[in-house]
Each structure stands twice: as structure tokens, then as C-alpha cells.
Amino acid sequence: MSTTTSFATLALHTARLTLRPTAPADAAALLAINADPEVARYLSRPAWTDIAQAEARIAQDAVDMAAGTHLRLAVEHESRLVGDCTLFNWSRQCRRAEIGYVLGRAAWGRGLMHEALTALVGFGFGPVMDLHRIEADIDPRNEGSAKTLERLGFMREGLLRERWIVSGEVSDSALYGLLRSDWARRAQSS
Ligand SMILES: CC(C)(COP(=O)(O)OP(=O)(O)OC[C@H]1O[C@@H](n2cnc3c(N)ncnc32)[C@H](O)[C@@H]1OP(=O)(O)O)[C@@H](O)C(=O)NCCC(=O)NCCS
């Protein structure tokens, strides 16, 4: 794929959700989600504390999305931003990327992230990104995240010990992988 492909106007639609690029007007909603210590409990960085963190990320995403180097989409439900999901660390040579996702606490437990990630993963394995493999690195204590990945067909492939230190807390990484062939088989059987 050309390195000039832009994701700046990308939108994905599911039964309940719209996935679209973040915009400056999303800063307050993104801060509210990411400042929640329950949401940030198992993330690779501390909870946000300042609107400037949301604004900086939105600005950086606009650059990366226009350049097509990184894909992050806001998850919108009933016209409100409830979270976001991303394909990052994209290696074009190896046709792989990492997946990440965050949902505000009020939206948990309704399968919304499953619905969002089904669309995101489908896009990743589709003709634009043409990925061969998608991987995830999660805290093994994050049961909701592990179930979300397993429901999509990701396989747990390994455990890296004491890989992260966030706010002084040391944690392990559980690594998960989903191959394009896994996804195709899953689509055939459902
Ligand atoms: C992980 C997350 C995206 C899950 O989203 P969600 O839309 O609430 O997920 P679902 O409603 O599809 O629930 C997924 C499964 O996890 C289970 N689950 C959710 N939270 C759980 C928890 N705290 N402990 C145990 N299981 C949990 C649900 O019961 C469900 O199980 P089931 O498939 O057997 O019914 C969401 O909880 C979240 O954003 N958490 C904070 C950020 C985060 O940790 N992101 C991932 C970083 S790797």
C-alpha cells in the first residue's frame, strides 16, 4: 500500500456505532473517559489529569491519520463519544499492527467494544491495510480485555514477565495474536 494513504476521512458503521477520526471538539469527552482511574487501571500509562493531554493526542492523531501511519477511531454511540480503538505500530513489511481500545465506564458490559473491534479488525484485514496479523499486549489481570480479545478469536500466545512499570507498579504482558486466516475461518463458520 502507498505510504500516502490517508485515514483522515475514514468512517466505519456498525449496527449501533459509528467509528470516525477524533476531532478537537472531542477533547472533553476523551478526558472524562481517560481520567477515570477504573478505565486506566490496566493501561500502559496513568490516568489523564489535564485537557491538554486529550488535545495533544487529538492533534497528533490528526497528523498520523493524514499520513496513514496509524489508525485511531473514536467510537460513537447514540451521537456520543464513548471510547476509541486503534491499530498502531503498523509494520507494512510484516503486515502486522497492534490493537488497542478504551471504553468509558458507563458503556461497559453491553458488547459495544466487541462490535467496534469487529469493524476495526475487518478493516485491518481488508484491502486498504491488508494486514496478515493483529496483536495485542494486555495486563493479564484485565479479564474484560482478555474476554474481548478471545471473543474476537485472538489466541493467547505468551506471557512476558514484569514488562511494564506504570506509576511505579510493575506488571506482566499477556500477548495475543489473530491471524488473517483465523479471521477468515471465523467468518466462514459464523
Ligand atoms: C475491556 C473493555 C474494552 C471491554 O469492553 P466492553 O464493551 O465492556 O466488553 P463486553 O461488554 O463485550 O464484555 C466483555 C466480556 O468481559 C467481561 N468483563 C467485563 N468487565 C469485566 C471485569 N472487570 N472482570 C471480569 N470480566 C469482565 C464481560 O462480562 C464479558 O464477558 P462475556 O463475553 O463472557 O459475557 C472495557 O472494559 C474497557 O474499556 N476497559 C478499560 C480500558 C481497557 O482496559 N482497555 C483495554 C486495554 S488492553
pLDDT at 2: 46
- Which residues in 142-181 are b (16+ Cβ under 10 Å) and which e? beebbebbeebbbeeeeeeeeebeeeeeebebbbbbbbbe
Q: What is the pTM of this model?
A: 0.95
Q: What is the CA radius of gyration of the chain?
A: 16
Does position 189 have pLDDT exceeding 60, yes or no?
yes
Query: What are the boundaries of each domain within the chain?
Result: 12-189
Atom 18 of ligand 1, nearest CA residue: 144
Atom 41 of ligand 1, nearest CA residue: 39
What value does the mean pLDDT take over residues 54-70? 95
Q: Mind listing the pLDDT tens digit for each residue in 13-61?
A: 999 999 999 999 999 999 999 999 999 999 999 999 999 999 999 999 9
Q: Which ligand 1 atom sits nearest the alpha carbon of residue 102?
A: 39
Q: What percent of the chain has pLDDT over 90?
A: 95
Class for the domain spanning 12-189 = alpha beta
Q: Mind listing the pLDDT tens digit for each residue in 83-116?
A: 999 999 999 999 999 999 999 999 999 999 999 9
- Residues having CB closer than 6 A to ligand 1 are 39, 42-43, 101-103, 108-114, 138, 142-145, 147-148, 151
pLDDT at 4: 64
